[in-house]
Amino acid sequence: MPTAHHEKNARTTGRPTLNEVAKRAGVSPITASRALRGISTVAEELAQKVRDAARELGYVVNPAARALASAQSQAVVVLVPSLANQLFVETLEAIHNVMRPKGLEVLIGNFHYSRDEEENLLRNYLAYQPRGLLLTGFERTESARRMIEASGVPCVYMMDLDPGAGLHCVGFSQLDAGATAARHLLERGRKRLAFVGAQLDQRTLLRAEGFRRELQRAGVYEPSLELLTPRPSSVGLGGELFTQLLVSHPQLDGIFFGNDDLAQGALLEALRLGIKVPEQVAVLGFNDLPSSAFMVPRLSSIRTPRQAIGQRAAELVLSLIAGETVTQPVQDMGFELMVRESS
Amino acid sequence: MPTAHHEKNARTTGRPTLNEVAKRAGVSPITASRALRGISTVAEELAQKVRDAARELGYVVNPAARALASAQSQAVVVLVPSLANQLFVETLEAIHNVMRPKGLEVLIGNFHYSRDEEENLLRNYLAYQPRGLLLTGFERTESARRMIEASGVPCVYMMDLDPGAGLHCVGFSQLDAGATAARHLLERGRKRLAFVGAQLDQRTLLRAEGFRRELQRAGVYEPSLELLTPRPSSVGLGGELFTQLLVSHPQLDGIFFGNDDLAQGALLEALRLGIKVPEQVAVLGFNDLPSSAFMVPRLSSIRTPRQAIGQRAAELVLSLIAGETVTQPVQDMGFELMVRESS
DNA sequence: TTGTAAGCGTTATCAT
DNA sequence: ATGATAACGCTTACAA
């Protein structure tokens, strides 16, 4: 009776190894490895034998061994501030669709709008030696920045455009989006305009800034009509803030919400309060979530290209990973004003 | 000038290794390993030295090496059918909150309600030698079932209760939930009741079944009032199906929607059509999404304990991983009928 | 309580 | 085009 430690593979799960595949195919392990990775130096005949053997044995590569030996995983890390916002789910989806066919895993990290949490996730995930990094925005700890830099892992920043233009990024100008919102409302003849934002990440703040500047230019900027709260964005909160704003500023004739869920909550509350939208107050949302077009009245919003951003950003890291020279480090995907019934 | 292959660690990323930590602390690598893993056989004094050395060097364990050596990763795999449904995001969140403090990574797989995709994810992720598995429902391919079984990885099933009681699961009875919906509407004096479901996973079908049985018992079951579509659930679709149903069955006096987004779409469409809810038609949703309480009228719904399910399921795998005997393999977390204005 | 030795499954390097 | 050999960084098994 052999004792465990005398046997080869005593600790393994019993999963077939590359060695076994190689033996069955009558080649050396390294040839099997090359064949399975599709390296073209292997004769097609041998490669076929190896693939057959692998299939017959039900061989699946051990990612840990591969990562250890090659000092690289097959993973791409994506860090988003939230999954509660449908926005990022759609972006993630698009990234997946680009990465999966390339055999890359997508590791999702949700940092809940917390810089510290993002830094932790980064430290953690970087230990996995990912092939690429997809991050959200430019706002992070100095330490996180250093880790990214030091890791040397190709990195693309999503959602906003780098003012410094030193980083690879795919997004749109949050500042312009805010300005566009203001211009639209102004063109509608509105003069007493408010901005309502929750979950104050840098992008929301940038939109507020763009909105504000445009109002200042038009000479109608009123500081007390800016309602910013760090509370998480939600439909309920939108209704609450809407009421609060109307009570304190009954003269109000237009509101730009930093997020569609807030705007939807406002629309619902207006219905309850009997406040006419857009007659008394125009309401403009941001992101154009799928349900916004079905609100009563249908919500006007600024549609953001999150799907396109995800796809393009993924393709961009892929290029970076492949070592290709990227001629367009900053990719502006724009946004679209959807005018419907609420404004 | 030394050539690369003469140097130790020539291929590494330059990241500090356990060896370097050990040297700096003046102990052997294995002692350092034990100290860092919090294994109590290490003298506290030494352990402190090791931790200090690790901190000073900025040491982070190489997960690939650890996984390879121990034949186990620090990951727990969670497979959900969708991220578009806020439901699963909340469950994921709860799982995270349990796992992270234990030092376990959560690998998220989204199988888009596709059995084949789930099977692929399983094959892929199982290769990572996860410590535990959290799966959604009982509906999967035979091949997936075998892989789970063969892997020997502790597994907990979420959302539904195993009729066979052979599996560890945390959820509630989907059948009962459907029945409860029917009883509520019946008690309100409604007789011409419809069921509307999209994204026909097994749980939706089970709810339909529970609803149907209760109507049959009451003698008011009408097959043509069951509207099932495989299209993905959404607010827009809810409005569409609502209109369609009312056109074909103007006598209708109550509808149970398999998902809150459908119900919300119906409420919005009713508003547009001038149909009084609940006077003409009662509307009952399912899941009680955060925004439902703010609809006009406020949506009645069945609140599902997704947060509790995630937490309990996570705790359960943890027990299983620890090898504890689980006395309660089936955990019914119940559900709650939220009666508001729409029914 | 600490350490030695060996090996985890794969790939890089260099040689043939 | 294929293979022998030696890592990769860590942990298990066993010994002391």
Q: Which chain B residues are within 8 Å of A260, Cβ to Cβ? A: none
Closest CA of chain A from B86, distance in Å: 7
CB neighbours of A275 closer than 8 A, spacing ≥ 6?
A246, A281
Other residues' Cβ atoms within 10 Å of the Cβ of residue A331? 19
CB neighbours of A264 closer than 8 A, spacing ≥ 6?
A235, A238, A285, A289, A291, A292, A295, A299, B291
Q: Which nucleotides of C are covered by protein (CB under 7 A)?
A: 1-5, 7-14
DSSP 3-state of A168: coil
pLDDT at B13: 55
Contact (CB, 8 A) for B335 and B159: no
Does A272 contact B at CB distance below 8 Å?
yes
Q: ∠ CA A105-A36-A11 to the nearest 5 degrees? A: 75
> Most A CBs within 10 Å: which of B12, B62, B294, B296, as the mutation test of the A interface?
B294
- What angle do helix axes A142-151 and A115-126 make, rounded to 10 degrees? 20
Q: What is the pLDDT of residues A241-251, one digit of tens each?
A: 999 999 999 99
Q: Which helix (H) or strand (E) holds A196?
A: strand A193-197
C-alpha to C-alpha distances, A339 to A128, A185, A282, nearest whole angstrom: 45, 10, 11
Q: Kindly state the DSSP code that residue B288 receives in the 8-state scheme.
A: -
pLDDT at B163: 78
DSSP 3-state of B76: strand
Does A97 contact B at CB distance below 8 Å?
no
Closest CA of chain A from B83, distance in Å: 7
Look at B291 and A265 and tell me if their CB atoms are within 8 Å: yes
- pLDDT over threshold 50, residue B7: no
pLDDT confidence band for A9 (50 / 70 / 90)? very low
CB neighbours of B293 closer than 8 A, spacing ≥ 6?
A236, B299, B338, B340
Contact (CB, 8 A) for B177 and B205: no
Contact (CB, 8 A) for A197 and A231: no
pLDDT at A282: 98
Nearest CA in chain A to B296: A268
Does B273 contact A at CB distance below 8 Å?
no
pLDDT at A165: 74
Question: How far is the C-alpha of B191 from the C-alpha of B185, rounded, in Å?
Answer: 8
Nearest CA in chain A to B235: A291
Closest CA of chain B from A127, distance in Å: 6
Q: Which chain A residues are within 8 Å of B152, Cβ to Cβ? A: 13
Closest CA of chain B from A299, distance in Å: 12
Residue B6 beta carbon within 7 A of nucleic strand C:
no
Nearest CA in chain A to B70: A11
Of B60, B108, B152, the CB nearest to A127: B60
Q: Which chain B residues are within 8 Å of A128, Cβ to Cβ? A: 63-64
Look at A264 and B291 and tell me if their CB atoms are within 8 Å: yes
Does B105 contact A at CB distance below 8 Å?
yes
Sign of the dihedral through C-alpha A80, A114, A85, A295: negative
Does B11 contact A at CB distance below 8 Å?
yes
pLDDT confidence band for B256 (50 / 70 / 90)? very high
Q: What is the pLDDT of residues A77-116, one digit of tens each?
A: 999 999 999 999 999 999 999 999 999 999 999 999 999 9
Contact (CB, 8 A) for A211 and A256: yes
Look at B73 and A93 and tell me if their CB atoms are within 8 Å: no
Closest CA of chain A from B11, distance in Å: 7
Q: What residues of chain A, 132 to 171, have a C-beta less than 8 Å from chain B?
A: 151-152
Question: How far is the C-alpha of B54 from the C-alpha of B58, rounded, in Å?
Answer: 6
Closest CA of chain B from A5, distance in Å: 15
Q: What is the pLDDT of residues B271-312, one digit of tens each?
A: 999 999 999 999 999 999 999 999 999 999 999 999 999 999
pLDDT at A317: 97
Distance B4 CA to C16 C1' (A): 22
Average pLDDT, rounded, for chain B: 93
Average pLDDT, rounded, for chain A: 93
Does A124 contact B at CB distance below 8 Å?
yes
pLDDT at A221: 97
Look at A272 and B296 and tell me if their CB atoms are within 8 Å: yes
Question: How far is the C-alpha of B275 from the C-alpha of B106, rounded, in Å?
Answer: 46
Structure tokens at A113: 């709008």
Closest CA of chain A from B156, distance in Å: 21
Look at A261 and B291 and tell me if their CB atoms are within 8 Å: yes
Nearest CA in chain A to B105: A124
- pLDDT over threshold 70, residue B12: no
Look at B294 and A268 and tell me if their CB atoms are within 8 Å: yes
Look at A71 and B11 and tell me if their CB atoms are within 8 Å: yes
Q: What residues of chain A, 30 to 59, have a C-beta less than 8 Å from chain B?
A: none
Of A67, A265, A291, the CB nearest to B64: A67
Look at B268 and A295 and tell me if their CB atoms are within 8 Å: yes
What residue is closest to D9 (Cα–C1')? Answer: B65
DSSP 3-state of B159: strand
Strand B300-303 relative to strand B336-338: parallel, antiparallel, unpaired?
antiparallel
Q: What is the mean pLDDT of residues B152-170?
A: 92
pLDDT at A5: 34
pLDDT at B162: 81
- pLDDT over threshold 50, residue A269: yes
What residue is closest to C7 (Cα–C1')? Answer: B69
Point out the least confidently predicted range of A36-40, A267-271, A297-301: A36-40
Residue type, A104: L
pLDDT at A13: 55
Look at A64 and B62 and tell me if their CB atoms are within 8 Å: no
pLDDT confidence band for B14 (50 / 70 / 90)? confident
E strands present in A36-192: 75-80, 105-110, 132-136, 155-159, 169-171
Q: What is the pLDDT of residues A28-82, one digit of tens each?
A: 999 999 999 998 788 999 999 999 999 999 999 999 999 999 999 999 999 999 9
Distance B254 CA to D16 C1' (A): 79
**Percent of chain B clearing pLDDT 70 (strictly above):** 96
> Most B CBs within 10 Å: which of A8, A89, A129, A294, as the mutation test of the B interface?
A294
Q: Which chain A residues are within 8 Å of B277, Cβ to Cβ? A: none
Q: What is the pLDDT of residues A140-194, one digit of tens each?
A: 999 999 999 999 999 999 999 987 878 999 999 999 999 999 999 999 999 999 9
Structure tokens at B239: 């409005």
Question: Which one, of B28, B40, B39, B35, lies nearest residue B54 by Cα?
Answer: B35
Residue A339 beta carbon within 7 A of nucleic strand C:
no
Contact (CB, 8 A) for A25 and A32: yes
